[in-house]
Each structure stands twice: as C-alpha cells, then as structure tokens.
Amino acid sequence: MVIVQREKFDTGAEFNRLTEGRTDIGAVVTFTGLVRDFNDGSNVTSLTLEHYPGMTEKELEKIEAAARERWALTECLIIHRFGKMDLGEPIVLVITASAHRGDAFAAAEFLMDWLKTKAPFWKLEANSEGENDWVKERESDHDAAKRWQ
C-alpha cells in the first residue's frame, strides 16, 4: 500500500493496523526517516518536499511492486509526506512484513534505496541564515541502489 500525504503519521499506529490479528506474519521491519538538523555539513531548520500528485503515487506503486516481486512479503506499506516539515518530524515510513526476517529486512532496505533515487520528490532545505537550497542527488544514494539491479 502506498500513501502520499501532508499530515504526520504515527509509526506505532501504522504497525498495529498492519499486524493486528495476523498470525501469518513472522517478521516486521520498520523504517522511519526524520527531518534532521544537518545535511552535507550545513545546518537545516526545515524541509519542504514537493511532488506531482498522481505521478508520485504511480512511481511509488511501481517501487512497491518491484519489492513484492523479489521477496515474499505478506504486507508492505509506504507512507511518504510532502509539504513543509520541521526538525524531528517524520518524512517517510516503510513497513515490510513477511513470514521470515530475511525477506522483510531485504525488502525494506531495497525500498529505501529505491525511494531515495527513484521517488519523484523535490527537497528544499531552509537554514538558519534564511536561505533555501534545493537538495542535490547524492552519488552514495545511487551507489546503494545499484546493488539491486
């Protein structure tokens, strides 16, 4: 399942919703990305994510489908926020569930690597000097994603 929303999410509530009453799940891996106060040596005071509605959801659904094709996932959830976010706020949530931990771990790592390189979001960081900078792609993110090709 893919959700793109402006509102904050509750990782614990999403975990409970996904697993409640399920006895076929043996492993759950969660990843929550947060807005931090630094990036590439610069201070950050907030983060704004922009996207194209409709296109973004379709691309995230393709990424989720790729994970489901590679691993035996019982459940998969991607929640990605957009809009302005303050320090410490959640940006992205990935939850993978499977009968065994190996599939859940590998799928979660794959999803995050591909989200970092293939998800159509544009990031604008604000800093304490009042400047806004568009975040450039990192070579290290692309290097991480290459291992899944």
From CA 54, how far away is CA 80, in angstroms rounded?
A: 13
pLDDT at res. 142: 58
What average pLDDT does range 63-88 have in this prediction? Answer: 97
pLDDT at res. 137: 67
Q: How confident is the model at residue 144 (pLDDT cuts 50, 70, 90)?
A: low
- Examine the pLDDT at 118 and tell me if it is beyond 80: yes
From CA 61, how far away is CA 140, in angstroms rounded?
A: 24
Q: Which helix (H) or strand (E) holds 118?
A: helix 101-118
- Examine the pLDDT at 65 and tell me if it is beyond 80: yes
Which residues face 137 on adjacent strands? none
Does residue 20 sit within a domain? Answer: yes
Does residue 145 sit within a domain? Answer: no
Pick from 24-28, 38-42, 81-85: least confident: 38-42
- 32: containing domain: 2-130
Split into its structural domains, the chain has a count of 1
CATH number of the domain within which 40 lies: 3.90.1170.40
SS3 109: helix
SS3 124: strand
CB 66 within 8 A of CB 118: no
pLDDT at res. 10: 97
**CA-wise closest residue to 96 among 87, 86, 109, 83:** 109
pLDDT at res. 4: 97
